[in-house]
Amino acid sequence: METPTLAQRLGAEFLGTFWLVFGGCGSAMFAAGFVAPNVVAGQSIHLGIGFVGVALAFGLTVLTMAYAVGHISGAHFNPAVTIGLTVAKRFEWKDVPGYVITQVIAGLAAGAALYGIARGKAGFDPVGNMAANGYGEHSPGGYSLMAVLCAEALLTAFFLYIILGATHDRAPSGFAPLAIGLGLTLIHLIAIPISNTSVNPARSTAVAFFNGNGAPGQLWLFWLAPIIGAAIAGATFHLVTGVDRRDRDISGSISERDAADHSNA
């Protein structure tokens, strides 16, 4: 099998990150609280998918694109995942800037698409309606800065533990995307009331500037906390579990560093 080029890997990351933001945030914007008029009864019918539906939508975006392009790029779709995997020595530092920049651009493109579609409804106000993340008065449940920071760091750490464990050779073959997607679903079920759930700096950046209000000013936390959590998980996974795969990238290929070592052996 021919090894994908960096351009192909970045293309896969763009597709996956775009789909994550468009599908996840889009479900929150358009479907979570949807109310349809009942002309016959003269009453409104609540057809929204709610928190559970939004959580499932985020999980499904990762699950579907992990199967679609995971074999090409590793299916990071998230700067914190990329950095966490690199700390775990499962990814090369030299490729981190390209991945992170691509993920952020893809997220912003998806955010722009969502904003453009949402404006097609008369009276749409982006403030508070772009699925932006926040703390304090911008938290859905009014949770403090420290509470949101702890939740985001902890949940991102466990997301990385799931990714690192599910992609092990001895894990059930072919089921890694399912475990990762369901893991992200569970994370959203926990954290939507706390912060609207980020665990992904690209997802937060994607809609913050379109939302405006306090979202851009709080964006720093949704970069800092997920990266801290991912880095902790990346640094400790092999110590906690005894599973040391630090010579392999997330897609299972031997890293360039170790490939060179093996060829010189």
Map out the domains of the chain with their CATH numbers: 6-264 (1.20.1080.10)
Q: Is the pLDDT of residue 125 over 70?
A: yes
Q: With the C-alpha atoms ordered 151, 153, 159, 161, is the resulting torsion angle positive or negative?
A: negative
pLDDT tens, position by position, 185-207: 999 999 999 999 999 999 999 99
Q: Is the pLDDT of residue 213 over 60?
A: yes
Residue 246 phi/psi, 5-degree rounding, is -75, 0
The more confident residue out of 152 and 259 is 152
Count of CB atoms situated within 10 Å of the CB of 45: 11
Q: Is the pLDDT of residue 5 over 70?
A: yes
Give the pLDDT band of residue 44 (cuts 50, 70, 90): confident
Q: Is the pLDDT of residue 109 over 80?
A: yes
Give the pLDDT band of residue 40 (cuts 50, 70, 90): low
Model pLDDT, residue 247: 61
